[in-house]
Amino acid sequence: MYVLCTGLNHKTAPLEIREGLSFSKEVLQEALLNLRSHISEGVILSTCNRTEIYTVASEPETAAQSIIRFLSQFHDLNAESFAPHLYSYQDTHAVRHLFRVASGLDSMILGESQILGQVRDALTASADTHPPGVPLSRLFHYALRAGRRVRNETDIGKNALSISYAGVRLAQRVLGDLKSKTVLLVGAGEAGRLVARALRTVGVESLLISNRTLARAEDLAQELHGQPVPFDDIHHAAGQCDIVISSTDAPEVIFTRDEVAQAVASRGDRPLFFFDLAVPRDVDPAMEGLPGVHLFNIDDLEAIAEENRQGREKSALAAEAIVEREVERFSQWWRSLETVPLIKALRREAEAIRRQELEKAFSRLPDLSTEEKKALEQLSRSIVNKLLHKPITSLKEPKAASHLQAEKELYRSAGPEDESPDPQA
């Protein structure tokens, strides 16, 4: 069996490709059920910067093609439009990739704070729909362990940026001091809450908060002393603001070009800045052509991300070392999936031979007492255990797959069916 990861991210695909293959929370359960008709089990990890599918398969190339067909059919996209942007990792490469993802080492914002929870949520969603088998489930638990260790044992998790906070940093870079600006935040989910707290941290005083569920907007507004706005009023509210930051999980744009054009018609020369942190995008890309409207999306965070990476290089090296140790831990467990059955088979065959030979000895020595038979029984067990000690210890040691295969072949060739005839039989 092989661990397989097939997907794309911000390094391999532009935003328009990533958003086309993303899975919102609303469709994730349906997607996981649909995925089962293509591969036997799988976990879907879908974030603003990546869509990845993990599975365990005996034929990884076939499984990778099945995943591509699933993505094509579920999203109603021609595979040729996104296949060139996909990567496919197997075995240790796939394990290392997931561990680096969970540790924030593969994120646009190095060490970003949300990814570990997103990896956990991906496993939970899969378990709630159709629990993955032990190997795939264990893979994700090891990945979460690696992520926790990196956050707890290195500085990469200290004062870590999130995509949401980086969006606020970008707004500061573009506009300077935000204290006097009126900001409309659309989306009161986890990402939105992070944005809202970041806005308060940089001194924004006039904060409007909207969400499809008004109660959530009201709760966040009360927590941060903002003003809730009904979702149906977001276009009107946008026309009264300086900045709009949108970070929802909506499957389609919520700010269309025509609606925003009407909202800003009376603003005169006063500019309006949109920061779209959502994938799929919340803001119609065509809006960028409107006079006085300036649009930024998640890919515009690269400059912030680069500064963040430069400041965390030493922490990243320490984190990479932890990841490698955790990859080896998982690899040892993975190899045990093959060695444990082999050890059991070796013990089973040795026990069968021991009993067979002991019965022959008893039949030749009919006058043995019960105590003598017990002594021979104990002697035969001791000899077998001592003979098996080194081979079993060798099987338990970390080794390359080629060495393990060689030991399998050696065991088969030395099996009972190939034994030389007993000259005393």
CB atoms under 10 Å from CB of 123, counted, come to 21
Most confident of 2-16, 369-383, 396-410, 411-425: 2-16
Domains of the chain: 2-160 (3.30.460.30), 163-302 (3.40.50.720), 335-418 (no CATH)
Q: What is the mean pLDDT of residues 170-177?
A: 91
Asked whether the beta carbons of 142 and 324 are under 8 A apart, the reply is: no
Weakest-pLDDT range from 93-97, 298-302, 311-315, 396-400: 396-400
pLDDT at position 420 is: 37
Q: What is the mean pLDDT of residues 310-322?
A: 88
Residue 181 has pLDDT above 90, yes or no: yes
Residue 402 has pLDDT above 60, yes or no: no
pLDDT at position 280 is: 93
Instruction: Tell me the CA end-to-end span of the chain in Å, nearest whole number.
Output: 43
Asked whether the beta carbons of 304 and 173 are under 8 A apart, the reply is: yes
The candidate with the shortest Cα–Cα distance to 23, out of 97, 126, 140, is: 126
The 10s digit of each residue's pLDDT in 76-111 is 999 999 999 999 999 999 999 999 999 999 999 888
User: Cis peptide leading into 280, omega within 30 of 0?
Assistant: yes
Residue 400 has pLDDT above 60, yes or no: no
Weakest-pLDDT range from 3-12, 28-37, 115-124, 356-365: 356-365
The 10s digit of each residue's pLDDT in 263-298 is 888 888 889 999 999 999 999 999 888 888 999 999
| Band of residue 421 on the pLDDT scale cut at 50, 70, 90 | very low
Our CA dihedral for 36, 38, 43, 49, rounded to 10 degrees, sits at -130
pLDDT at position 422 is: 40
Most confident of 74-78, 251-255, 303-307: 74-78
pLDDT at position 304 is: 86
pLDDT at position 30 is: 96
| Count of residues in the chain | 425
48 is known as an active-site residue: yes
Q: Exposed e or buried b for every residue in 277-294, given b needs 16+ CB within 10 A? A: bbbbbbbbeebeebeebe
Bridging pattern class, strands 182-186 and 87-90 = unpaired
Q: Which of 31, 44, 48, 184 is catalytic?
A: 48
| Band of residue 405 on the pLDDT scale cut at 50, 70, 90 | low
Which is more confident, 164 or 311?
A: 164
- Percentage of the residues of the chain whose pLDDT score is greater than 70: 92
> What is the residue whose two structure tokens read 């000690």?
389
| CA 389 – CA 66 distance, rounded (Å) | 44
The 10s digit of each residue's pLDDT in 343-397 is 787 888 888 888 888 888 888 888 889 898 898 889 989 998 888 888 777 766 6
